[in-house]
Amino acid sequence: MTENVGRQSYHEVKITKDLRSKERTQDLIAFINEHIIEYKGKTEESHPIPVMLFEEKDHAHVFANQLSKKLNIPREHITVKAQR
């Protein structure tokens, strides 16, 4: 039996379409920084939008839905994928 000691899998939330404006990108980054902890997530640096990681799939999907709703980003432009 193989154990994955020290390996953590995450669910990554990613915006798949360019927001086309610096202001919208800044609004997205501000929302992420302000609310990601509420959904038990964390960020890793990436340009221009930080990578959003969640241990729980449900938290990732709820956060993705909130991004869509609060920032008016079509849900089809937000993905949630499992990462190892």
DSSP bridge partners of 12: 53, 81
Whether the predicted pLDDT of 83 surpasses 90: no
- The one-letter code for the residue type at 40 is K
For 56, the enclosing helix (H) or strand (E) is none
User: Residue 47 is encoded by which pair of tokens?
Assistant: 């340009």
Q: How many domains does the chain have?
A: 1
More confident: 29 or 4: 29
Residue 13 contacts residue 54 (beta carbons within 8 Å): yes
78, part of any domain: yes
**In-domain check, residue 50:** yes
53's enclosing H/E stretch is strand 51-54
Please report whether residue 29 resides in a domain. Answer: yes
User: What pLDDT, in 10s, does the model give residues 54-77?
Assistant: 999 999 999 999 999 999 999 999
Looking at residue 49, which CATH number applies to its domain?
Answer: 3.30.70
Q: Is the peptide bond before 74 cis (omega within 30 degrees of 0)?
A: no
Question: Sorting pLDDT into bands at 50, 70 and 90, what band is 6?
Answer: low
Give me the domain span that covers residue 75. 10-83
**3 in a structural domain:** no
Residue 1 lies in a domain: no
